[in-house]
Amino acid sequence: MIAFLIKRLMHAFVVMFVISVISFAIQSNLGDPIQQMVGQSVPESQRAELREELGLNDSFLVQYGRFATNALQGDFGYSYFFNEPTTEVIQRHLPATLELVIAATLIIVVFSVPIGVYCAIRPRSALSRFFMSVSIIGISIPVFLTAIMLIQLFAIGVDFSPFPAETGWGQWLNGLLSTEGGMPSYGRGNDLTHLFGTWDSNFFSLDGLTYLVLPAVSLASIMLPLFIRLIRAEMLEVLQSEYVKFATAKGISLKRIYFVHALKNTMLPVITVGGVQLGTMVAYTILTETVFQWPGMGLMFLEAIQRSDIPLIVTYLMIVGLIFVVTNTLVDLIYGLVNPTVKLTGKPA
Amino acid sequence: MIDKKTLLASLLGASVVLPLPALAQDSSSDSDPVTLRMAYDADPVSLDIHEQLSGGILQLSHLTHDPLVRWTKDVKFEPRLATDWERIDDTTMRFTLRDGVTFHTGNDFTAKDVVWTINRLKRSADFKAIFDPIASATAIDEHTVEIKTHKPYPLVLNLATYIFPMDSEYYSGETEDGDPKDEIVKNGDSFASRNSSGTGPYEVVSRQQGVKIVFERFDNYWDKDSPGNVDRLVLTPIGENATRVSALLSGDVDFIAPVPPNDLERVRADKNVELTTMSGTRIILMQLNQKRVEAFEDPRVRKAFNYAVNQQAIADRLMKGFATPAAQLSPKGYDGYNDSLEPRYDVEKAKELMKEAGYEDGFSVSMMAPNNRYVNDAKIAQAVATMLSRINVDVDLKTLPKAQYWGEFDDRAADIMMIGWHADTEDSANLFQYLTECPDPETGAGQYNAANYCNPELDEKVAQANVETDRAKRAEMLQAVEQALYDDAAFMPLHWQDLAWAAKKNVKLEPVVNVMNFPYLGDLVVEQ
């Protein structure tokens, strides 16, 4: 266990080192940060001065060496735009992203498990077929499109009236097709609950929750169908296995077979995939956050790219790398708990 | 609520007189407080109005501060903190200041604040260049200031629109860390970037960069005649165009700017929302680099390029009528605007000129344009490239995000480059100095002249105009320069970008908008 963690820690260092080198190497292609900082009429001489001041004229190795030395001491530099240490900027933006990911994860867990199991138990029922075809659509539509459609439907509202509005039934059908709108379409809301430090939460007020709904649904829109299909496929396979047949022959109630014996084994690969996808979801927030102007890390990162805010870009990439390493480590640990036959260090049992 | 109070307290810092208690009695006495929620594409980078010369900062300046004079809708001057001004001699201008004006801290506004502000402007990297002509500012008495220029300078009033007096007493001294409170820091923390005291209609009560800024109406605002009735302003930056429009259509915000051209029709069609547009002053043009392409040294080829491009079609179809086709740099209202110049479009004529110049079979050129800087910039470049193919010019077009584009622009990396320019001084001479004068790294002339066009005679004329204080004479000189540039086809003018704002029906935007693209929100009326 300890050996495993130490190994992972070293992995993390290697990953972060590689990420920092790569993000540093591409910075010259990210544009000139000076251009973003000064007005149009500032003469070249002053730009040169500022460039020198920021150390942008030094060679790649000198710049990287300076960065790495400071970074090892916990100083990742100042954001050009926020005029603050990048770690503080990210700390401020992190809670918003984490809350969005938590909300989306909740949606995924709550819906994917029952639907996936149902589709496996009754593969031929009309409802299962419906779920399967909807999930294909869900996987195929990109997140930002889902987001924009959600905004149009539930924030702005749509007025469809293909049926005659004079008649009672027409009005009723039109009403079914049209949407009211009124859901908030941007930002985190005004009534947040302060938890600690930089963490303000959406989860403890009605206002906060309404602001969370649309972004969380669109973030979940890709993963949810994926997990429904994954759980269904795994469950179908498990239901074919010998021990399930044996349990059935033994006369154990179907309920117990499905939810105690089969589901447990179904969840093993789901946990692995889920852990990896959790990391991916942090990356997906870039799109969702941009469309909903959600003030999290994703939006911050995209804007940092537009502003050539190099220190912030590098720090963000390293932190995302760290999140990937940590989630993968946690997944491996949990996997070991769920399935004791798996040995973490990889030695034969 | 807690953080709001502490922020307000820290904002007002050491000042003893808190204007807060007065809030309940005055201003919106008879009705509920009026809140305006607005969304811009970006928020100001700092509270220090001298840190950057940009639209966002100027918008902020008009909220928290007041200029000496400001532009009206038809590009004239309107007195603000200066009530009167007169020219004493060729190099001196005397301003009479408004009496009874107080800063947000309660300090009185006097001539020494104006002098202090001008001196600080001359130190600011971004404002230094445009304030260069000013030699000194002196306080004659409490309410009179004299501004002296090095040479006779006709644009003192134009500069006065940038003088937003700051509370000199508040910004004097040192912070706890020992930094001077008046320092201007581009990349880093400074007292002025987090604290503000001006004379403007609004005070900042809370600010979370990139998320939102909340302003509240200043109770002791001097302009009691202002019809403005908004008590609270909440500014949220929404960078994504579609989201900004959605926020307005769904009623989450009351006012947005800018309105993306692709959504103009959608906004116009919505019955709860009103679209306000007006002709802008930002010129979009293409520069033909004579240093890179020999053919561009021939005025006939440059003219042929101009004849080949259909500006009207770009303005109508691509820009959806959201642009005014241009034949010169100066927009209407500027002194240099020459109303006899018309866009040329005649493909046959263009072909003829190419033939004359010996390029009947055309040639290949490279072109670069940004793809997120100006309205529809990449599409415009594509349209121009297609139009040029009709005179057998083969264009290799590359479009880049603005962050990368300007580096390429500085390197003059393509034969044809796109640029948009808005004169900080709202004056034609600024356009010539940056875009058409012979490039000279020493003086900074022609800093954005990627055409490498050089005509010393015209530069001389512009220099003369810049010391001519008789406005009529000066206008004549500048118009002659426009004419000469047109005859020489020094560049390919495309259009002036229009400005657009959109707001809910009860927000009366129309009276407060102006060519500067920052509505005077202090005077904004929101009907209840």
Task: Give the residue from chain B lying closest to A292, CA to CA.
Answer: B243
Confidence of residue B357 (pLDDT cuts 50, 70, 90): very high
Q: Return the C-alpha torsion angle A22, A28, A33, A34, nearest 10.
A: 150
pTM of the model: 0.81
pLDDT over 70 for what percent of chain A? 97
- The secondary structure element, H or E, covering residue A254 is helix A254-256
* A36 pLDDT above the threshold of 70: yes
Confidence of residue B477 (pLDDT cuts 50, 70, 90): very high
Mean pLDDT along residues A111-130: 92
Confidence of residue A343 (pLDDT cuts 50, 70, 90): low
Confidence of residue A194 (pLDDT cuts 50, 70, 90): confident
Token couple for B89: 């001699």
Q: Tell me, yes or no, if A187 comes closer than 8 A to chain B by beta carbon.
A: yes
Q: In the block, which residue shows the tokens 């100066």?
A: B330
Q: In the block, which residue shows the tokens 């692709």?
A: B262
pLDDT in tens, A276-314: 888 778 767 888 998 898 989 999 998 888 888 888 998
Distance from CA of A41 to the nearest CA of B (A): 7
Q: Tell me, yes or no, if B424 comes closer than 8 A to chain A by beta carbon.
A: yes
Q: How do B416-421 and B364-370 pair as beta strands? A: parallel
pLDDT in tens, B17-29: 333 333 333 444 4
pLDDT in tens, B496-517: 999 889 999 999 999 999 877 8
Distance from CA of A159 to the nearest CA of B (A): 12
Which chain B residues are within 8 Å of A182, Cβ to Cβ? 250-251
How many A-B residue pairs are in contact by the CB < 8 A criterion? 144
The winner for highest mean pLDDT among A71-85, A106-120, A265-279 is A106-120
* B4 vs B495 pLDDT, higher one: B495
Q: Tell me, yes or no, if A152 comes closer than 8 A to chain B by beta carbon.
A: yes
Q: Tell me, yes or no, if A182 comes closer than 8 A to chain B by beta carbon.
A: yes
Q: Are B451 and B288 in contact (CB under 8 A)?
A: yes
Q: Tell me, yes or no, if A199 comes closer than 8 A to chain B by beta carbon.
A: no
pLDDT at A274: 85
Q: In the block, which residue shows the tokens 């200066």?
A: B82
Mean pLDDT along residues B37-56: 88
* B2 pLDDT above the threshold of 50: no
pLDDT in tens, B69-97: 999 888 889 999 999 999 999 899 999 99
Q: Tell me, yes or no, if A142 comes closer than 8 A to chain B by beta carbon.
A: no
Which chain A residues are within 8 Å of B52, Cβ to Cβ? 37-39
pLDDT at B230: 94
* Record: contact B126-A38, CB cut-off 8 A: yes
The count of other CB atoms within 10 Å of the CB of residue B86 is 9
B307 SS3 class? helix
Q: Are B86 and B206 in contact (CB under 8 A)?
A: no
pLDDT at A267: 84
* B407 vs A87 pLDDT, higher one: A87
ipTM for the complex shown: 0.78
Mean pLDDT along residues A59-80: 86
* A323 pLDDT above the threshold of 80: yes
- The secondary structure element, H or E, covering residue A45 is helix A44-53
Confidence of residue A175 (pLDDT cuts 50, 70, 90): confident
* B52 pLDDT above the threshold of 70: yes
Q: In the block, which residue shows the tokens 């000496």?
A: B68
Distance from CA of B52 to the nearest CA of A (A): 6
Q: How do B492-504 and B69-71 pair as beta strands? A: unpaired
Q: Tell me, yes or no, if A65 comes closer than 8 A to chain B by beta carbon.
A: no
Strand order in the sheet with B92-97: B82-89, B92-97, B144-149, B134-141
Q: Return the C-alpha torsion angle B186, B187, B192, B193, nearest 10.
A: 110
- Residue B217's beta-bridge partner residues? B202
* A181 pLDDT above the threshold of 80: no
C-alpha span between A301 and A291 (Å, rounded): 14
Query: CA B18: distance to chain centroid?
Result: 34
Distance from CA of A257 to the nearest CA of B (A): 48
Q: Tell me, yes or no, if B496 comes closer than 8 A to chain A by beta carbon.
A: no
Which chain A residues are within 8 Å of B405, Cβ to Cβ? 31
What stretches of B347-401 show up as alpha helix (H) in DSSP?
347-356, 377-389
Of the candidates B493, B494, B495, B491, which has an alpha carbon nearest to the alpha carbon of residue B299? B491
Q: B84-98, B258-272, B317-331, B467-481 — which is least confidently predicted? A: B258-272
Token couple for B2: 């807690």
- Residue ranges of E strands in B218-322: 232-237, 255-257, 273-288
Q: Which CB contacts under 8 angstroms, 24+ apart, belong to A202-208?
A: A202/A99, A202/A103, A203/A99, A203/A103
Q: Are A285 and A97 in contact (CB under 8 A)?
A: yes
Q: Are B69 and B82 in contact (CB under 8 A)?
A: yes
Task: Concatenate the DSSP letters of all residues of B313-372 into one string.
Answer: HIIIIISTT-EEE-SSSSPBTBTT--TT------HHHHHHHHHHTT-TT--EEEEEEESS
C-alpha span between B395 and B398 (Å, rounded): 9
Mean pLDDT (chain A) is: 85
